[in-house]
Structure 1
């Protein structure tokens, strides 16, 4: 399953820009990969891991703006269509080969 995070954060003041940078830094440290500028995705193994990841998002959310999370299955994620651009030009890790379940 994938968690997809969509966000639209204000960046009019220095504090808002700092909050934006800190939130993006949190996402990358927590294992999310950038799909687009304000769209990140993370691979999780089950509903429990997804719930824990959403709880961490809530804990680290910025004070202003909109943050949304969408849970999609791997088969749904695999049906994503690229309308413009090509998939090969991006350094995206899109495989479950290295997923280790303990």
Structure 2
């Protein structure tokens, strides 16, 4: 399962920019990776784990922010066509076996 978080956050003031940065950092702390500036992805081994992670995200949302959380299967993720510039990014839907931090 993949959890996709898409968001728009206000960044008009210094405080709003700081809150937006904190929100992104919280996503990174939860194990998400940035796909695009306001789109983050996380692989979860089960739908229960995906639900648990998804339920934590709204607690970090700054005032005036908007988030959409989408859960997709590995097969749906593998069917996504991904490009960087004019080059297509290989997308086999697999996750690296081990991440060491």
What TM-score do the two structures reach when normalised by structure 1?
Answer: 0.82
**Pair 1:68 & 2:68 matched:** yes
- Greater share of strand: 2
Q: Which runs of 4+ in 1 moved over 6 A?
A: none
2:82 counterpart SS class: coil
Structure with bigger RCO (C-alpha 8 Å, 6+ apart): 1
The alignment's C-alpha RMSD in Å is: 1.8
**Pair 1:7 & 2:10 matched:** no
Query: What is the Cα deviation at residue 96 of structure 1?
Result: 4.7
Query: What is the Cα deviation at residue 83 of structure 1?
Result: 4.8
Query: What is the Cα deviation at residue 74 of structure 1?
Result: 0.5
Please give the alpha-carbon distance, in whole angstroms, between the structure 2 residues aligned to 1:31 and 1:47: 16
Q: Which residue of the partner structure matches residue 47 of structure 2?
A: 47
Unaligned 5+ residue runs, structure 2?
none
Number of residue equivalences: 94
Query: What is the Cα deviation at residue 84 of structure 1?
Result: 5.1
Please give the alpha-carbon distance, in whole angstroms, between the structure 2 residues aligned to 1:84 and 1:35: 11
1:27 counterpart SS class: helix
Query: What is the Cα deviation at residue 36 of structure 1?
Result: 0.5
Contact 2:2/2:44, CA 8 A, preserved across alignment: yes
Q: Which residue of the partner structure matches residue 28 of structure 2?
A: 28
Instruction: Quickly say closer, same or farther: Cα 1:33–1:84, change in 2 above 3 A.
Output: closer
1:18 counterpart SS class: helix
Contact 2:43/2:95, CA 8 A, preserved across alignment: no
